[in-house]
Structure 1
Protein backbone atom coordinates (compact mmCIF):
# COMPACT_ATOMS: atom_id res chain seq x y z
CA UNK A 1 0.00 0.00 0.00
CA UNK A 2 1.23 3.42 -0.89
CA UNK A 3 2.05 5.91 1.84
CA UNK A 4 0.04 8.65 0.20
CA UNK A 5 -3.45 8.97 -1.08
CA UNK A 6 -3.60 9.42 -4.74
CA UNK A 7 -5.28 12.61 -5.76
CA UNK A 8 -8.10 12.53 -8.20
CA UNK A 9 -7.28 13.24 -11.78
CA UNK A 10 -9.25 15.33 -14.15
CA UNK A 11 -10.19 14.34 -17.58
CA UNK A 12 -6.82 15.45 -18.88
CA UNK A 13 -5.01 13.30 -16.43
CA UNK A 14 -3.65 16.13 -14.31
CA UNK A 15 -4.17 16.20 -10.61
CA UNK A 16 -6.83 18.56 -9.20
CA UNK A 17 -6.13 19.94 -5.74
CA UNK A 18 -8.63 19.41 -2.95
CA UNK A 19 -10.63 22.43 -1.96
CA UNK A 20 -9.72 24.04 1.32
CA UNK A 21 -11.62 23.27 4.50
CA UNK A 22 -13.66 26.56 4.24
CA UNK A 23 -15.23 28.21 1.25
CA UNK A 24 -13.88 31.66 0.23
CA UNK A 25 -15.75 34.62 1.96
CA UNK A 26 -17.48 37.09 -0.45
CA UNK A 27 -16.06 40.66 -0.66
CA UNK A 28 -18.03 43.22 1.41
CA UNK A 29 -20.54 45.26 -0.58
CA UNK A 30 -20.33 49.11 -0.21
CA UNK A 31 -23.22 50.77 1.59
CA UNK A 32 -25.30 53.16 -0.53
CA UNK A 33 -24.49 56.84 0.07
CA UNK A 34 -27.63 58.85 0.85
CA UNK A 35 -27.03 62.61 0.67
CA UNK A 36 -30.66 63.74 0.32
CA UNK A 37 -31.22 64.89 3.92
CA UNK A 38 -28.21 67.20 3.99
CA UNK A 39 -29.09 68.73 0.62
CA UNK A 40 -32.72 69.24 1.62
CA UNK A 41 -31.64 70.82 4.91
CA UNK A 42 -29.38 73.27 3.08
CA UNK A 43 -32.09 74.29 0.61
CA UNK A 44 -34.73 74.74 3.30
CA UNK A 45 -32.26 76.60 5.52
CA UNK A 46 -31.38 79.08 2.77
CA UNK A 47 -35.03 79.74 1.91
CA UNK A 48 -35.97 80.04 5.58
CA UNK A 49 -33.15 82.48 6.33
CA UNK A 50 -34.13 84.66 3.37
CA UNK A 51 -37.78 84.60 4.46
CA UNK A 52 -36.72 85.58 7.97
CA UNK A 53 -35.33 88.87 6.66
CA UNK A 54 -38.92 89.91 5.84
CA UNK A 55 -40.82 90.30 9.16
CA UNK A 56 -44.20 89.47 7.62
CA UNK A 57 -42.87 86.06 6.56
CA UNK A 58 -41.78 85.13 10.07
CA UNK A 59 -44.08 82.10 10.10
CA UNK A 60 -42.55 80.79 6.85
CA UNK A 61 -39.06 81.24 8.27
CA UNK A 62 -40.06 79.44 11.45
CA UNK A 63 -41.51 76.37 9.71
CA UNK A 64 -38.66 76.05 7.22
CA UNK A 65 -36.11 76.66 9.97
CA UNK A 66 -37.46 73.79 12.08
CA UNK A 67 -37.47 71.42 9.09
CA UNK A 68 -33.95 72.45 8.06
CA UNK A 69 -32.65 71.93 11.59
CA UNK A 70 -34.20 68.45 11.88
CA UNK A 71 -33.04 67.32 8.43
CA UNK A 72 -29.58 68.80 8.97
CA UNK A 73 -29.06 66.97 12.24
CA UNK A 74 -30.35 63.74 10.69
CA UNK A 75 -27.95 64.21 7.78
CA UNK A 76 -25.03 64.70 10.14
CA UNK A 77 -25.97 61.48 11.91
CA UNK A 78 -25.92 59.57 8.64
CA UNK A 79 -22.56 61.08 7.75
CA UNK A 80 -21.10 59.95 11.08
CA UNK A 81 -22.33 56.40 10.40
CA UNK A 82 -20.79 56.44 6.94
CA UNK A 83 -24.16 56.43 5.21
CA UNK A 84 -23.68 59.86 3.70
CA UNK A 85 -20.78 61.89 2.40
CA UNK A 86 -22.05 65.44 2.75
CA UNK A 87 -21.56 66.16 6.44
CA UNK A 88 -20.59 69.78 5.73
CA UNK A 89 -23.73 70.41 3.70
CA UNK A 90 -25.91 68.90 6.43
CA UNK A 91 -24.15 71.01 9.07
CA UNK A 92 -24.66 74.17 7.01
CA UNK A 93 -28.34 73.32 6.58
CA UNK A 94 -28.79 72.83 10.32
CA UNK A 95 -27.06 76.13 11.08
CA UNK A 96 -29.16 78.02 8.53
CA UNK A 97 -32.27 76.40 9.99
CA UNK A 98 -31.33 77.72 13.42
CA UNK A 99 -30.72 81.18 11.94
CA UNK A 100 -34.12 81.07 10.23
CA UNK A 101 -35.80 80.18 13.53
CA UNK A 102 -34.10 83.09 15.30
CA UNK A 103 -35.11 85.49 12.51
CA UNK A 104 -38.68 84.21 12.70
CA UNK A 105 -38.84 85.08 16.39
CA UNK A 106 -37.45 88.56 15.72
CA UNK A 107 -39.92 89.04 12.86
CA UNK A 108 -42.83 87.94 15.03
CA UNK A 109 -41.86 90.47 17.69
CA UNK A 110 -41.64 93.25 15.10
CA UNK A 111 -44.98 92.37 13.50
CA UNK A 112 -46.87 92.09 16.78
CA UNK A 113 -45.31 95.31 18.08
CA UNK A 114 -46.33 97.14 14.90
CA UNK A 115 -49.83 95.73 15.13
CA UNK A 116 -50.06 96.84 18.76
CA UNK A 117 -48.95 100.36 17.80
CA UNK A 118 -51.56 100.52 15.04
CA UNK A 119 -54.31 99.42 17.42
CA UNK A 120 -53.17 102.01 19.95
CA UNK A 121 -53.22 104.77 17.32
CA UNK A 122 -56.70 103.72 16.20
CA UNK A 123 -57.91 103.83 19.79
CA UNK A 124 -56.43 107.30 20.20
CA UNK A 125 -58.11 108.44 17.00
CA UNK A 126 -61.46 107.10 18.17
CA UNK A 127 -61.04 108.77 21.55
CA UNK A 128 -60.08 112.04 19.86
CA UNK A 129 -63.10 111.87 17.58
CA UNK A 130 -65.34 111.75 20.61
CA UNK A 131 -63.58 114.69 22.30
CA UNK A 132 -66.05 117.49 21.63
CA UNK A 133 -67.31 120.38 23.75
CA UNK A 134 -69.92 119.48 26.31
CA UNK A 135 -72.99 121.58 26.85
CA UNK A 136 -71.74 124.35 29.16
CA UNK A 137 -74.61 123.62 31.53
CA UNK A 138 -73.14 120.17 32.24
CA UNK A 139 -69.91 121.48 33.77
CA UNK A 140 -68.96 119.83 37.03
CA UNK A 141 -69.43 121.61 40.32
CA UNK A 142 -66.59 124.05 40.91
CA UNK A 143 -66.04 124.68 37.18
CA UNK A 144 -66.48 128.23 35.80
CA UNK A 145 -70.14 129.15 35.59
CA UNK A 146 -71.75 128.71 32.18
CA UNK A 147 -75.13 129.73 30.92
CA UNK A 148 -77.27 127.42 28.83
CA UNK A 149 -76.95 128.35 25.15
CA UNK A 150 -78.58 126.74 22.10
CA UNK A 151 -76.42 124.39 20.09
CA UNK A 152 -74.30 126.22 17.54
CA UNK A 153 -74.52 129.54 19.34
CA UNK A 154 -71.39 131.28 20.65
CA UNK A 155 -70.77 131.56 24.38
CA UNK A 156 -70.78 134.81 26.34
CA UNK A 157 -67.92 136.35 28.33
CA UNK A 158 -67.05 134.21 31.35
CA UNK A 159 -68.80 131.09 30.04
CA UNK A 160 -66.77 127.86 30.03
CA UNK A 161 -66.55 125.34 27.23
CA UNK A 162 -66.16 121.91 28.86
CA UNK A 163 -64.80 119.05 26.74
CA UNK A 164 -65.32 115.33 27.18
CA UNK A 165 -61.93 114.94 28.87
CA UNK A 166 -62.98 117.64 31.40
CA UNK A 167 -60.77 120.32 29.90
CA UNK A 168 -62.40 123.72 30.49
CA UNK A 169 -61.76 126.88 28.49
CA UNK A 170 -63.20 130.31 29.27
CA UNK A 171 -62.76 133.82 27.84
CA UNK A 172 -63.13 137.01 29.84
CA UNK A 173 -64.94 140.17 28.83
CA UNK A 174 -62.84 142.45 26.61
CA UNK A 175 -61.02 145.41 28.13
CA UNK A 176 -59.79 148.38 26.06
CA UNK A 177 -56.03 148.98 26.32
CA UNK A 178 -53.46 151.18 24.67
CA UNK A 179 -51.14 149.69 22.07
CA UNK A 180 -47.45 150.05 22.85
CA UNK A 181 -45.15 152.16 20.72
CA UNK A 182 -43.62 149.09 19.09
CA UNK A 183 -46.75 146.93 19.02
CA UNK A 184 -47.19 144.77 15.94
CA UNK A 185 -50.66 144.23 14.47
CA UNK A 186 -52.18 147.57 15.42
CA UNK A 187 -53.66 149.84 12.74
CA UNK A 188 -53.90 153.58 13.33
CA UNK A 189 -57.51 154.54 14.14
CA UNK A 190 -58.46 151.09 15.46
CA UNK A 191 -58.93 150.15 19.07
CA UNK A 192 -57.12 147.41 21.00
CA UNK A 193 -58.98 145.07 23.33
CA UNK A 194 -57.51 142.67 25.87
CA UNK A 195 -59.11 139.34 26.82
CA UNK A 196 -57.92 136.73 29.29
CA UNK A 197 -58.20 133.08 28.26
CA UNK A 198 -58.20 130.52 31.04
CA UNK A 199 -57.52 126.81 30.52
CA UNK A 200 -58.37 124.55 33.47
CA UNK A 201 -57.52 120.85 33.40
CA UNK A 202 -60.24 118.98 35.25
CA UNK A 203 -59.27 115.63 33.78
CA UNK A 204 -56.81 112.93 34.80
CA UNK A 205 -54.17 113.45 32.10
CA UNK A 206 -51.76 116.31 31.53
CA UNK A 207 -52.79 118.75 28.80
CA UNK A 208 -50.16 120.03 26.35
CA UNK A 209 -51.17 123.65 25.67
CA UNK A 210 -48.64 124.35 22.90
CA UNK A 211 -51.17 123.51 20.16
CA UNK A 212 -53.89 125.81 21.52
CA UNK A 213 -54.92 128.30 18.82
CA UNK A 214 -56.77 131.61 19.23
CA UNK A 215 -58.27 133.87 16.57
CA UNK A 216 -60.79 136.72 16.52
CA UNK A 217 -63.18 138.64 14.27
CA UNK A 218 -64.67 142.04 14.96
CA UNK A 219 -67.82 143.93 13.98
CA UNK A 220 -70.97 142.95 12.13
CA UNK A 221 -68.96 142.21 8.97
CA UNK A 222 -66.76 139.72 10.78
CA UNK A 223 -63.51 141.36 9.72
CA UNK A 224 -60.37 139.65 11.00
CA UNK A 225 -59.18 141.18 14.25
CA UNK A 226 -55.39 141.09 14.13
CA UNK A 227 -53.64 139.74 17.19
CA UNK A 228 -51.36 142.26 18.86
CA UNK A 229 -47.75 141.38 19.55
CA UNK A 230 -46.27 143.77 22.07
CA UNK A 231 -43.11 142.64 23.84
CA UNK A 232 -43.71 140.55 26.94
CA UNK A 233 -47.28 141.79 27.36
CA UNK A 234 -49.11 140.23 24.44
CA UNK A 235 -48.38 137.59 21.85
CA UNK A 236 -46.61 134.89 23.84
CA UNK A 237 -49.52 132.43 23.77
CA UNK A 238 -49.86 129.23 25.76
CA UNK A 239 -46.80 127.05 26.33
CA UNK A 240 -45.99 124.00 28.42
CA UNK A 241 -48.22 121.46 30.11
CA UNK A 242 -51.24 121.99 32.34
CA UNK A 243 -51.32 119.23 34.95
CA UNK A 244 -54.58 117.70 36.24
CA UNK A 245 -56.28 120.05 38.69
CA UNK A 246 -54.24 123.06 37.49
CA UNK A 247 -55.05 126.03 35.28
CA UNK A 248 -53.20 128.46 33.02
CA UNK A 249 -54.13 132.02 32.04
CA UNK A 250 -52.80 134.00 29.08
CA UNK A 251 -53.74 137.53 27.99
CA UNK A 252 -54.42 138.21 24.32
CA UNK A 253 -54.97 141.55 22.61
CA UNK A 254 -56.81 142.12 19.33
CA UNK A 255 -57.07 145.09 16.99
CA UNK A 256 -60.68 146.01 16.08
CA UNK A 257 -62.27 148.78 14.04
CA UNK A 258 -63.27 151.78 16.15
CA UNK A 259 -66.97 151.32 15.37
CA UNK A 260 -67.05 147.57 16.09
CA UNK A 261 -69.63 146.57 18.67
CA UNK A 262 -68.69 142.89 19.08
CA UNK A 263 -65.54 140.78 19.19
CA UNK A 264 -65.87 137.07 18.37
CA UNK A 265 -63.03 135.01 19.85
CA UNK A 266 -62.47 131.41 18.73
CA UNK A 267 -60.36 128.98 20.76
CA UNK A 268 -59.23 125.54 19.60
CA UNK A 269 -57.44 123.69 22.44
CA UNK A 270 -55.61 121.32 20.09
CA UNK A 271 -55.72 119.24 16.93
CA UNK A 272 -58.03 116.70 18.58
CA UNK A 273 -60.52 119.29 19.86
CA UNK A 274 -63.40 121.13 18.25
CA UNK A 275 -63.24 124.94 18.29
CA UNK A 276 -65.49 127.04 20.54
CA UNK A 277 -66.51 130.68 19.96
CA UNK A 278 -67.30 133.50 22.39
CA UNK A 279 -69.19 136.61 21.27
CA UNK A 280 -68.02 139.51 23.41
CA UNK A 281 -69.62 142.93 23.62
CA UNK A 282 -67.24 145.88 23.12
Structure 2
Protein backbone atom coordinates (compact mmCIF):
# COMPACT_ATOMS: atom_id res chain seq x y z
CA UNK A 1 0.00 0.00 0.00
CA UNK A 2 1.39 3.29 -0.87
CA UNK A 3 0.76 6.53 0.98
CA UNK A 4 0.79 9.87 -0.71
CA UNK A 5 2.36 12.76 1.11
CA UNK A 6 0.21 15.85 1.64
CA UNK A 7 1.09 18.76 -0.63
CA UNK A 8 3.66 21.18 0.83
CA UNK A 9 3.01 24.92 0.62
CA UNK A 10 5.94 27.30 0.37
CA UNK A 11 5.72 30.30 2.67
CA UNK A 12 5.76 33.61 0.82
CA UNK A 13 8.15 36.32 2.15
CA UNK A 14 6.33 39.00 4.05
CA UNK A 15 6.14 42.40 2.46
CA UNK A 16 7.31 45.32 4.64
CA UNK A 17 4.49 47.10 6.33
CA UNK A 18 3.75 50.52 4.94
CA UNK A 19 1.52 52.55 7.17
CA UNK A 20 -1.23 54.22 5.30
CA UNK A 21 -1.94 57.89 5.79
CA UNK A 22 -5.03 58.71 7.61
CA UNK A 23 -7.80 59.58 5.22
CA UNK A 24 -7.85 63.31 4.37
CA UNK A 25 -4.35 64.21 5.71
CA UNK A 26 -1.41 65.48 3.63
CA UNK A 27 2.22 66.29 4.52
CA UNK A 28 2.78 69.92 5.54
CA UNK A 29 3.77 72.23 2.68
CA UNK A 30 6.24 74.55 4.45
CA UNK A 31 8.42 75.39 1.45
CA UNK A 32 7.05 78.89 0.86
CA UNK A 33 7.69 80.00 4.42
CA UNK A 34 11.26 78.67 4.40
CA UNK A 35 12.00 80.34 1.04
CA UNK A 36 10.53 83.62 2.30
CA UNK A 37 12.76 83.52 5.39
CA UNK A 38 15.94 82.80 3.41
CA UNK A 39 15.28 85.48 0.78
CA UNK A 40 14.21 87.95 3.47
CA UNK A 41 17.47 87.50 5.35
CA UNK A 42 19.60 87.91 2.22
CA UNK A 43 17.55 90.91 1.09
CA UNK A 44 17.80 92.66 4.47
CA UNK A 45 21.56 92.18 4.61
CA UNK A 46 21.89 93.48 1.05
CA UNK A 47 19.81 96.52 2.00
CA UNK A 48 22.44 97.56 4.54
CA UNK A 49 24.77 98.27 1.59
CA UNK A 50 23.34 101.26 -0.35
CA UNK A 51 24.85 100.17 -3.68
CA UNK A 52 22.96 96.86 -3.44
CA UNK A 53 19.56 98.54 -3.13
CA UNK A 54 18.42 96.88 -6.37
CA UNK A 55 19.17 93.38 -5.03
CA UNK A 56 17.47 94.15 -1.72
CA UNK A 57 14.38 95.37 -3.58
CA UNK A 58 14.09 92.27 -5.76
CA UNK A 59 14.67 89.77 -2.96
CA UNK A 60 12.48 91.72 -0.55
CA UNK A 61 9.56 91.74 -2.97
CA UNK A 62 9.86 88.02 -3.64
CA UNK A 63 10.18 87.26 0.10
CA UNK A 64 7.11 89.34 0.89
CA UNK A 65 5.03 87.59 -1.77
CA UNK A 66 6.19 84.13 -0.66
CA UNK A 67 5.59 84.99 2.98
CA UNK A 68 2.04 86.16 2.35
CA UNK A 69 1.34 83.06 0.22
CA UNK A 70 2.80 80.88 2.99
CA UNK A 71 0.50 82.49 5.54
CA UNK A 72 -2.40 81.61 3.28
CA UNK A 73 -1.32 77.98 3.37
CA UNK A 74 -1.10 78.12 7.15
CA UNK A 75 -4.65 79.44 7.39
CA UNK A 76 -5.89 76.66 5.13
CA UNK A 77 -4.10 74.06 7.24
CA UNK A 78 -1.67 73.11 4.47
CA UNK A 79 1.43 74.37 6.33
CA UNK A 80 2.54 74.41 9.96
CA UNK A 81 5.34 77.03 10.01
CA UNK A 82 3.34 80.14 10.79
CA UNK A 83 6.19 81.82 12.70
CA UNK A 84 8.78 81.23 9.99
CA UNK A 85 6.40 82.44 7.29
CA UNK A 86 5.49 85.60 9.19
CA UNK A 87 9.12 86.40 9.96
CA UNK A 88 10.05 85.90 6.29
CA UNK A 89 7.32 88.32 5.19
CA UNK A 90 8.48 90.92 7.74
CA UNK A 91 12.09 90.61 6.56
CA UNK A 92 10.91 91.00 2.98
CA UNK A 93 9.13 94.24 3.89
CA UNK A 94 12.24 95.44 5.75
CA UNK A 95 14.39 94.69 2.69
CA UNK A 96 12.03 96.76 0.52
CA UNK A 97 12.29 99.71 2.91
CA UNK A 98 16.10 99.46 3.01
CA UNK A 99 16.19 99.30 -0.78
CA UNK A 100 14.31 102.59 -1.03
CA UNK A 101 16.64 104.24 1.50
CA UNK A 102 19.68 102.84 -0.30
CA UNK A 103 18.40 104.11 -3.66
CA UNK A 104 17.94 107.62 -2.24
CA UNK A 105 21.42 107.61 -0.71
CA UNK A 106 23.03 106.26 -3.89
CA UNK A 107 21.31 108.68 -6.24
CA UNK A 108 22.08 111.62 -3.93
CA UNK A 109 25.75 110.62 -3.77
CA UNK A 110 25.91 110.27 -7.55
CA UNK A 111 24.20 113.63 -8.01
CA UNK A 112 26.66 115.32 -5.60
CA UNK A 113 29.59 113.67 -7.36
CA UNK A 114 28.34 114.87 -10.75
CA UNK A 115 27.91 118.41 -9.41
CA UNK A 116 31.43 118.34 -7.97
CA UNK A 117 32.87 117.09 -11.26
CA UNK A 118 30.96 119.77 -13.18
CA UNK A 119 32.34 122.44 -10.88
CA UNK A 120 35.82 121.03 -11.18
CA UNK A 121 35.66 120.90 -14.98
CA UNK A 122 34.03 124.28 -15.42
CA UNK A 123 36.11 125.94 -12.72
CA UNK A 124 34.42 128.03 -10.05
CA UNK A 125 35.27 131.69 -10.55
CA UNK A 126 35.96 134.19 -7.82
CA UNK A 127 35.94 137.95 -8.24
CA UNK A 128 37.52 140.57 -6.01
CA UNK A 129 35.23 142.81 -4.03
CA UNK A 130 37.34 145.55 -2.36
CA UNK A 131 36.47 146.71 1.12
CA UNK A 132 33.40 144.43 1.47
CA UNK A 133 29.91 144.63 -0.03
CA UNK A 134 29.41 148.39 0.43
CA UNK A 135 31.97 149.32 -2.20
CA UNK A 136 31.01 146.70 -4.78
CA UNK A 137 28.68 148.97 -6.73
CA UNK A 138 31.36 151.61 -7.23
CA UNK A 139 33.91 149.05 -8.40
CA UNK A 140 36.61 151.01 -6.59
CA UNK A 141 38.68 150.36 -3.50
CA UNK A 142 38.72 152.43 -0.32
CA UNK A 143 41.32 154.83 -1.72
CA UNK A 144 39.34 155.52 -4.87
CA UNK A 145 41.53 153.33 -7.12
CA UNK A 146 40.37 150.66 -9.49
CA UNK A 147 39.18 147.36 -8.07
CA UNK A 148 41.66 144.47 -8.25
CA UNK A 149 41.38 142.16 -11.22
CA UNK A 150 40.19 138.59 -10.74
CA UNK A 151 43.68 137.07 -10.72
CA UNK A 152 45.31 139.83 -8.65
CA UNK A 153 45.98 139.59 -4.92
CA UNK A 154 43.47 141.28 -2.66
CA UNK A 155 44.25 143.55 0.26
CA UNK A 156 43.07 143.63 3.84
CA UNK A 157 39.29 143.98 4.07
CA UNK A 158 38.67 142.82 0.48
CA UNK A 159 36.28 139.96 -0.20
CA UNK A 160 36.58 137.15 -2.73
CA UNK A 161 33.11 136.48 -4.13
CA UNK A 162 32.34 133.07 -5.62
CA UNK A 163 29.65 132.16 -8.14
CA UNK A 164 27.77 130.03 -5.60
CA UNK A 165 27.27 133.05 -3.33
CA UNK A 166 30.16 132.41 -0.96
CA UNK A 167 32.15 135.45 0.19
CA UNK A 168 35.55 135.20 1.91
CA UNK A 169 37.03 138.27 3.58
CA UNK A 170 40.50 138.54 5.10
CA UNK A 171 41.12 141.53 7.34
CA UNK A 172 44.38 143.37 7.92
CA UNK A 173 46.88 141.62 10.21
CA UNK A 174 47.46 142.58 13.82
CA UNK A 175 50.50 141.98 16.05
CA UNK A 176 50.15 138.97 18.33
CA UNK A 177 52.05 137.69 21.35
CA UNK A 178 52.31 133.93 21.20
CA UNK A 179 51.90 131.91 24.38
CA UNK A 180 54.80 130.37 26.22
CA UNK A 181 54.04 126.89 24.90
CA UNK A 182 52.92 127.96 21.43
CA UNK A 183 53.59 125.64 18.50
CA UNK A 184 54.83 127.16 15.25
CA UNK A 185 56.44 130.30 16.68
CA UNK A 186 60.21 130.76 16.32
CA UNK A 187 62.11 132.92 18.78
CA UNK A 188 63.18 136.17 17.15
CA UNK A 189 60.28 136.15 14.66
CA UNK A 190 57.10 138.17 14.96
CA UNK A 191 53.59 136.80 15.22
CA UNK A 192 50.51 138.22 13.53
CA UNK A 193 46.83 137.37 13.66
CA UNK A 194 44.55 137.40 10.64
CA UNK A 195 40.76 137.39 10.94
CA UNK A 196 38.87 135.52 8.21
CA UNK A 197 35.13 135.93 7.68
CA UNK A 198 33.07 133.60 5.49
CA UNK A 199 29.54 134.65 4.55
CA UNK A 200 27.18 132.25 2.81
CA UNK A 201 24.89 134.13 0.45
CA UNK A 202 24.08 131.01 -1.55
CA UNK A 203 21.19 128.58 -1.31
CA UNK A 204 23.00 125.58 0.19
CA UNK A 205 24.87 125.13 3.44
CA UNK A 206 28.66 125.37 3.34
CA UNK A 207 31.01 122.97 5.14
CA UNK A 208 33.51 125.29 6.85
CA UNK A 209 35.72 122.44 8.03
CA UNK A 210 37.10 122.17 4.47
CA UNK A 211 38.60 125.69 4.58
CA UNK A 212 42.40 125.74 4.53
CA UNK A 213 44.87 128.63 4.88
CA UNK A 214 48.50 129.05 3.87
CA UNK A 215 50.73 132.06 4.35
CA UNK A 216 54.06 133.36 3.05
CA UNK A 217 56.02 136.29 4.44
CA UNK A 218 58.30 138.90 2.90
CA UNK A 219 59.44 139.49 -0.66
CA UNK A 220 61.13 136.08 -0.74
CA UNK A 221 57.86 134.35 0.06
CA UNK A 222 59.17 132.19 2.91
CA UNK A 223 56.59 129.95 4.55
CA UNK A 224 54.85 131.63 7.44
CA UNK A 225 54.08 128.80 9.82
CA UNK A 226 50.70 128.76 11.50
CA UNK A 227 50.81 129.22 15.26
CA UNK A 228 48.84 127.07 17.68
CA UNK A 229 48.48 127.82 21.38
CA UNK A 230 45.81 127.83 24.03
CA UNK A 231 44.22 130.99 22.61
CA UNK A 232 44.31 130.53 18.88
CA UNK A 233 44.65 127.97 16.10
CA UNK A 234 41.36 126.08 16.08
CA UNK A 235 40.22 127.49 12.72
CA UNK A 236 36.80 126.94 11.18
CA UNK A 237 34.42 124.23 12.35
CA UNK A 238 30.88 123.18 11.50
CA UNK A 239 28.70 124.38 8.63
CA UNK A 240 27.39 127.78 7.53
CA UNK A 241 23.71 127.95 6.63
CA UNK A 242 22.46 130.22 3.83
CA UNK A 243 22.34 133.84 4.99
CA UNK A 244 24.79 133.23 7.85
CA UNK A 245 28.48 133.98 8.38
CA UNK A 246 31.32 132.52 10.41
CA UNK A 247 34.55 134.07 11.70
CA UNK A 248 37.86 132.50 12.67
CA UNK A 249 41.20 133.94 13.73
CA UNK A 250 44.55 132.54 12.60
CA UNK A 251 48.06 133.38 13.74
CA UNK A 252 51.20 133.19 11.59
CA UNK A 253 54.91 133.37 12.31
CA UNK A 254 56.95 135.76 10.12
CA UNK A 255 60.56 136.95 10.04
CA UNK A 256 61.12 140.16 11.98
CA UNK A 257 62.06 142.11 8.83
CA UNK A 258 59.12 140.90 6.71
CA UNK A 259 57.01 143.73 5.35
CA UNK A 260 54.17 141.72 3.82
CA UNK A 261 52.16 138.62 4.57
CA UNK A 262 50.53 136.76 1.68
CA UNK A 263 47.54 134.72 2.84
CA UNK A 264 45.92 132.14 0.54
CA UNK A 265 42.47 130.80 1.41
CA UNK A 266 40.99 127.69 -0.20
CA UNK A 267 37.27 127.37 0.70
CA UNK A 268 37.18 123.70 -0.41
CA UNK A 269 38.55 121.40 -3.11
CA UNK A 270 35.96 122.54 -5.69
CA UNK A 271 36.59 126.31 -5.39
CA UNK A 272 39.65 128.21 -6.52
CA UNK A 273 41.96 129.65 -3.87
CA UNK A 274 42.19 133.41 -3.41
CA UNK A 275 45.17 135.44 -2.18
CA UNK A 276 45.47 138.53 -0.01
CA UNK A 277 48.61 140.71 0.11
CA UNK A 278 48.69 142.18 3.60
CA UNK A 279 51.07 144.86 4.84
CA UNK A 280 52.71 144.23 8.19
Distance in 1 (CA, whole Å) between partners of 2:276 and 2:42 is: 55
Residues 104-156 of structure 1: per-residue CA shift (max 9 Å, x gap): 111100111121122223333444553865331589x94674735345x5444
Aligned-residue offset at 1:264:
2.1
Instruction: Determine whether 1:253 maps to 2:251.
Output: yes
Distance 1:164 1:247 in 2: 17
Contact 2:125 2:272 in 1 (8 A): no
1:193 aligns with 2:192: yes
Rounded to whole Å, the distance in 2 between the matches of 1:143 and 1:242 is 22
Decide whether aligned partners of structure 1 residues 217 and 125 sit closer, same or farther in structure 2, where only a CA change above 3 A counts: same
Matched residue SS, 1:265: strand
Residue 26 of structure 2: aligned partner: 35
The CA deviation at 1:169 is 0.5
Asked if residue 52 in structure 1 is aligned to residue 69 in structure 2, the reply is: no
Residue aligning to 2:7: none
Q: Distance in 2 between matches of 1:240 and 1:59?
A: 41
Alignment of 1:86-235 (within 5 A): 90-93=78-81, 96-129=84-117, 130=119, 133-136=124-127, 142=133, 145=136, 147-151=147-151, 153-175=152-174, 177=175, 179-180=177-178, 182=180, 184=182, 185-229=184-228, 231-232=230-231, 234-235=232-233
Which entry has the higher C-alpha Rg, 1 or 2?
1
TM-score w.r.t. length of structure 2: 0.65
Unmatched runs of 5 consecutive residues or more in structure 2: 1-20, 44-55, 140-146
Cα pair distance change 1:59/1:199, threshold 3 Å: same
Q: CA deviation at 1:224?
A: 1.7
Deviations 1:70-108 (A, max 9, x none): 44445x2xxxxxxxxxxxxx3324554343222211110
Whole-angstrom CA distance in 2 between matches of 1:73 and 1:35: 15
> Scaled by the length of structure 1, what TM-score is found?
0.65
- Quote the RMSD (CA, aligned, Å): 3.6
